A and B are shown apart, each in its own frame.
Chain A
């Protein structure tokens, strides 16, 4: 429970029913010897009522507590700091527009622990000093850190660090963090702000300041301006986890350093980086580079966690990029629009990287299907999605 942002609380279930009467008889069937350790006369307790999708008055809550008098409570009630907390949980369904008179389910249990859902609020992007157009939602960044099995004293790297949102979650779990990005301005915290009503970024807006905001500055190792396809790390395995959200080519462009001849006329150059940047970095190449990089620089057992954008009508599992050194652990979908989604891919390094691995999977059929998805960006913007939406609409009428 110290890690999850997906679970609110955990209870030891003592009874359950679809009505109060069913609940009470269920409670009467729960072995008394399991209850007694928490109810004896030296202990203090309190009972809470939680209702989901309904609000009860204080009177109604007290009535429900009183109805539990038959339970062998011998301790003293302490509302401020009880040793044991018991909860009645009433489920009124999921539709806020149709709240039933009586609950579908009632549960009674002893509270054991809470999850970390308050992190979603305390680390919310809304309150963060430095954000970008595609800063990751706080809840998702913690889920990604959990997928990466980030723990104290790990080194976590994000090769497409942007404003550092993913590093924050890892630092919260005690990892020391590195980030790189090809965009000079973002890494330095310069340029136009992403907040509505704000034109330019202020002096306290950079990745380090973000960590400082949450008291995590000691976990900041460094950020560098670097091209993820041309990394500058000395040969070796340094990272316990690589957690990243690569650009999809929609709201941030996919780029890599290019040669002078590749720059289309009229394209702005990074003023301070003095290096030409090419816009044509195909998505499939980017994942090829990312997986290879992970296979080479992760410690054995280390994890790669990243988002893979897909055009849903054509997606098949075979399209998920593959590498002989990395084992696929999980693949979870998040819908973005009616025909696009992104998949959270988690992989674990299971085999040491030898040089030849760089080439062997190029020939694999597994890999080729995603190549077709160079056009993710085109499909996203093209008339295809609009035409399909129109066709669906007319078939419904």
Chain B
């Protein structure tokens, strides 16, 4: 699972709503996967992200800041969590990640109606 994906996922446990983000990530196996750098794609993704703990947010003109884009590229697309868990910050419910694939299935009782 890429960290870009982690930034787009939220817990859908019943009653949790917007407090289901961000899922707490515990990684037991991580791999760094080189991916071809595409500045246009990375620049497109920046506004979609929810950057919770970035002190200033992306600075104006980030689309042209290659150093910044390369750093974001590495973090978002090249860090791959192979094994681990995602945890709902509100309910504590765990979603396992195995072979790089998160399993987000919940039973009917657990999800919002």
**Which residues in A have some Cβ–Cβ distance to B below 8 Å?**
152-153, 176, 178, 180, 182, 184, 187-188, 218, 221-227, 230-236, 238, 257-260, 262, 273, 275-276, 278
> Using Cβ atoms and an 8 Å threshold, which residues of chain B touch A227?
104-106
Q: Are A259 and B105 in contact (CB under 8 A)?
A: no
- The verdict on B53 contacting chain A, using a C-beta distance below 8 Å, is no
Q: Are B107 and A275 in contact (CB under 8 A)?
A: yes
Of the candidates B9, B36, B41, B77, the one whose C-beta lies within 8 Å of that of A233 is: B9
A232 closest partner in B (C-beta): B104
Report the bound CA distance from A273 to B105 in whole Å: 8
Nearest-CB distance from A301 to chain B (Å)? Answer: 14
**Which residues in B have some Cβ–Cβ distance to A below 8 Å?**
1-2, 4-5, 7-12, 18, 21, 35-36, 38, 40-41, 44, 48, 50, 77, 98-109, 111-112
Q: Are B101 and A234 in contact (CB under 8 A)?
A: no
> Using Cβ atoms and an 8 Å threshold, which residues of chain A touch B104?
180, 224-227, 232
Q: Are B8 and A153 in contact (CB under 8 A)?
A: no
> Using Cβ atoms and an 8 Å threshold, which residues of chain B touch A178?
5
Report the bound CA distance from A327 to B94 in whole Å: 38
Nearest-CB distance from B110 to chain A (Å)? Answer: 9
Of the candidates B7, B12, B98, B109, the one whose C-beta lies within 8 Å of that of A259 is: B109
> Using Cβ atoms and an 8 Å threshold, which residues of chain B touch A176?
41
> Using Cβ atoms and an 8 Å threshold, which residues of chain B touch A221?
2, 4-5, 77
Can you report 17 A-B residue pairs in the complex whose CB atoms are below 8 A from each other? Answer: A152-B40, A153-B38, A153-B41, A176-B41, A188-B99, A222-B1, A222-B5, A222-B101, A224-B104, A226-B104, A232-B9, A234-B9, A234-B50, A235-B18, A236-B48, A257-B111, A262-B108
From known contacts A235-B10, A235-B18, infer whether A257 and B40 are also in contact, taking CB-CB under 8 Å: no
Q: A-B pairs with the 6 shortest C-beta distances? A: A259-B108, A234-B10, A275-B105, A225-B103, A226-B104, A232-B104
